[in-house]
Amino acid sequence: MANTIGLCMDLVMPRTEVFCKEVFAKLFFMSDDVIMKSPQWIDAHCHLASDKFLNSLPEVIKRSQLVGVTGWIQGGIDPIDWARQQLLKIQYGPRFLTSFGLHPWWVGTASQDMIDSALSTLETLLPEAAALGELGLDFGKIHDLNRGEQINAFKRQLQLGKRGSKPLVLHIVKAHSEALEILKHFAPFPAGGMIHSFTGSYEIAEEYFKLGFFVSLGGAVTQGGYFALKKAIPLLSLSQIVVETDSPDQVPKVEGIDPKGINEPQFLVAIAKAIAQIKGVTAEAVLSQSTENLERLFGI
């Protein structure tokens, strides 16, 4: 562990060390006050290594634990993010699951040399991660950059994932047909995976199910619009879905939550309530089955 953290730290910017030192100082100060309670649900996707949590992570974690969300699966972005995840995992242990991958937003703005170097580092570090991700394609209006580079990096990461037998955390936006074509070419995926922040139709979800993936539902469930998703939810079995916050992004549109604030893992409960209302079940049933699905997927 120490050697790989050192390798990653040598390749990233100095601000990573500053981030972790400041967070750790607070963590060690309040470690005796951390409250663990039953149930112990899992946030299927979040970014606790984000700059947005630099000055508040210990309090964010405590609020999460107070509502029963005591596990956090990360979404990887780039080598800087991987290094932060490695260091934070030392403090949080097995309920803090790391995911290393090249986010399509990062790929869309990086040079080929940067991508090649990052993929080399990823190959070295991947054995220590719980998952490969987040990787994928984003052809949405804002992030539709360098499609060729996104597709190439996606394929190269899938090759790494198959060799390493890691679950996949996929980011697919406005590119389901392209992504499914590529995934079918590389199938099967024995370790499975999930489609993070899924907002598509039931028909699209079925295609991912055939490949062994879960769909992960987040704050979009609480927003206006997203009609295809809301039409799909009643048809989805709880055994096919997991629930995420994507903290600090995608703040749920729920009474009592500041829409201009920062999303947190504690809001997983609010998202589950929205899903439960559509499906006619309890939020506890949604969260319990999601956690069971994640424990099976990640071998927790």
Bridge-based pairing state of the strands 96-97 and 69-74: parallel
Per-residue confidence band for 144, with pLDDT thresholds at 50, 70 and 90: low
- pLDDT tens, 224-233? 999 999 999 9
pTM for the model stands at 0.87
SS (H, E, C) 202-263: HHHHHHHHHCCEEEEECHHHHCCCCHHHHHHHHHCCHHHEEECCCCCCCCCCCCCCCCCCCC
Which secondary structure element, helix H or strand E, spans residue 146, and what is its range? none
The position carrying tokens 């699951």 is 97
Q: Between 29 and 150, whose confidence is greater?
A: 150
Domain residue spans of the chain: 2-298
Q: What is the pLDDT of residues 93-103, one digit of tens each?
A: 899 999 999 99
Q: What is the rounded CA–CA span in Å between residue 222 and residue 285? A: 18
CATH superfamily, with its number, for domain 2-298: Metal-dependent hydrolases (3.20.20.140)
pLDDT at position 124: 95
- What is the pLDDT confidence band of residue 38, given thresholds at 50, 70 and 90? low
pLDDT at 104: 95
pLDDT at 143: 64
pLDDT(107) > 70: yes
177 by Cβ neighbours in 10 Å (0-12 / 13-18 / 19+) ranks as exposed
Q: Answer whether 229's CB lies under 8 Å from 221's CB.
A: yes
pLDDT at 34 (0 to 100): 40
Cβ neighbourhood burial of 137 (10 Å; 0-12, 13-18, 19+)? buried
Alpha carbon distances (Å) from 97 to 34, 76, 93, 162, 221: 18, 11, 8, 19, 24
Q: Which residues on adjacent β-strands are paired with residue 173?
A: 138
Is 50 exceeded by the pLDDT of residue 27?
A: no
